[in-house]
Structure 1
Amino acid sequence: MYVIVEIAGQQFKAEKGRKLYVHRLQGEENSSVSFDKVLLTDNDGQVKVGAPVVKGAAVKCKILKHLKDDKVLVFKKKRRTGYQKCNGHRQYLTQILVEEIVA
């Protein structure tokens, strides 16, 4: 069984026991969070599509840790003018573990 769930504005495929990296969430490590914006459920071929969400469905997760992603470099250059600029950032992420899917 899997579901498509919206977490912090992004859509993820969630299965029981799967770890996901999502944008930074509010909450302490080892605390549990629940997401109720389930867009689709698939239970062994029985597919339910929400309009816009599936009623009564939720995903219960546990926050494992807060971390930073790898560095992303942004390099800008204009040819023949001597213009070069290098910027970079590291995205803040949260690792969560899907514990239960309520459909």
Structure 2
Amino acid sequence: MYAIVEIAGQQFKVEKDQKIFVHRLQTEEGGQVEFAKVLLLDKDGEVVVGAPTIEGAKVSAKVISHMRADKVRVFKKKRRKGYRKLNGHRQNLSHIQIEEIFA
């Protein structure tokens, strides 16, 4: 059984006991969070597609930890002009574990 769910503006294909990294959630570490925007649900080969979401379906997850991703360097340069710009960015992430999918 799997579901496609929208979490913090992104869509993820999730299954029970799967661990994923998502954009930072406002829940403390060890807390429970539920996602109600289930877009697709597959129960043993029977696929249910929402329009746009499935009524009554939700996904329950537990926040394992909050962290920051690796640094991404953004470098801009214009040739022969002496223009160089270097920026760095680290995204805030939450590590969550899917506990149950309610249909």
TM tier, smaller: over 0.9
- Mapped pair 1:91 → 2:87: no
What are structure 1's unaligned runs of at least 5 residues?
A: none
Return structure 1 stretches of 4+ with deviation > 6 angstroms: none
Letter in 2 for 1:20: I
Matched ranges for 1:25-40 at <5 A: 25-40=25-40
- Residue 43 of structure 1: CA displacement? 1.2
Q: Which TM-score applies when normalising by structure 1?
A: 0.98
SS at structure 1 position matched to 2:90: strand
SS at structure 2 position matched to 1:27: coil
Between the aligned partners of 1:81 and 1:29, the Cα distance in structure 2 is 49
What are structure 2's unaligned runs of at least 5 residues?
A: none
Residues 42-91 of structure 1: CA deviation (Å, up to 9, x unaligned): 11211000000011100000000000000000000001101111101100
After superposition, the CA RMSD in angstroms is 0.5
- Mapped pair 1:70 → 2:103: no
Q: Which TM-score applies when normalising by structure 2?
A: 0.98
Q: Name the structure 2 match of 1:14.
A: 14
